[in-house]
């Protein structure tokens, strides 16, 4: 089964930290998915701050097999920040859905629910979601072909 992976890195980082106080195990996740399918594309979407810890993390993702896509981290005058990849992820998923049997999205963001509905209907792909159960939008869970909870086995 040809599979494409799309990781909303900020969402996975913050939801795993909030729910479990731990980090997501990308290597274990890769092993789990590659055991049941052929990973033909794997994108991890992150913000770029340029600090050493972040660069080491990005290099680790690349070593596992992910293509790391970066956007600059923008800090606003009011103290808020921006590093949103929703549109970029959506474009890449729409393009990949034509070429694969399964799309896997790692995110809890309900904004992606319409995207999953669209690719299932238009391209007849399996559209699965991995997310932290308590912090994943019900609409995203409902729109997924299958929802896989991020729990103990996928944490560091």
pLDDT in tens, the chain (156 residues): 999 999 999 999 999 999 999 999 999 999 999 999 999 999 999 988 778 988 999 999 999 999 999 988 766 666 555 568 999 999 999 999 999 999 999 999 999 999 999 999 999 999 999 999 999 999 999 999 999 999 999 999
- Classify burial at 25, counting beta carbons within 10 Å of its beta carbon; exposed 0-12, middle 13-18, buried 19 or more: middle
Overall domain count for the chain: 1
CATH number of the domain bearing residue 32: 3.40.50.1010
- Classify burial at 14, counting beta carbons within 10 Å of its beta carbon; exposed 0-12, middle 13-18, buried 19 or more: middle
| Range of the structural domain that residue 142 is part of | 2-154
Phi, psi of 95 (to 5 degrees): -70, -40
pLDDT tens for residues 81-114? 556 899 999 999 999 999 999 999 999 999 999 9
- Going along the chain, which residue ranges are E strands? 2-8, 38-48, 67-72, 74-75, 81-82, 102-106, 126-131, 146-149
Evaluate whether 121 touches 97 at the Cβ level (below 8 Å).
no
Q: Is the pTM of this model over 0.75?
A: yes
């Amino acid at each position: 089964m040809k599979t494409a992976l799309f990781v909303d890195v900020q969402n996975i980082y913050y939801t795993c930290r909030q729910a479990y106080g731990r980090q997501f195990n990308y290597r274990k996740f890769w092993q789990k998915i590659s055991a049941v399918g052929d990973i033909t594309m794997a994108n991890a979407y992150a913000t770029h701050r340029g600090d050493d810890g972040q660069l080491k993390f990005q290099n680790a993702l690349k070593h596992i097999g992910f293509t790391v896509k970066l956007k600059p981290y923008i800090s606003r005058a009011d103290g808020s920040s921006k590093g949103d990849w929703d549109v970029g992820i959506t474009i890449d998923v729409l393009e990949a859905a034509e070429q694969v049997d399964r799309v896997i999205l790692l995110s809890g963001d309900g904004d992606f629910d319409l995207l999953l509905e669209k690719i299932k209907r238009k391209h007849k792909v399996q559209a699965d979601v991995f997310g932290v159960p308590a912090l994943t939008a019900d609409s995203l869970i409902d729109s997924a072909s299958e929802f896989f909870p991020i729990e103990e086995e996928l944490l560091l």
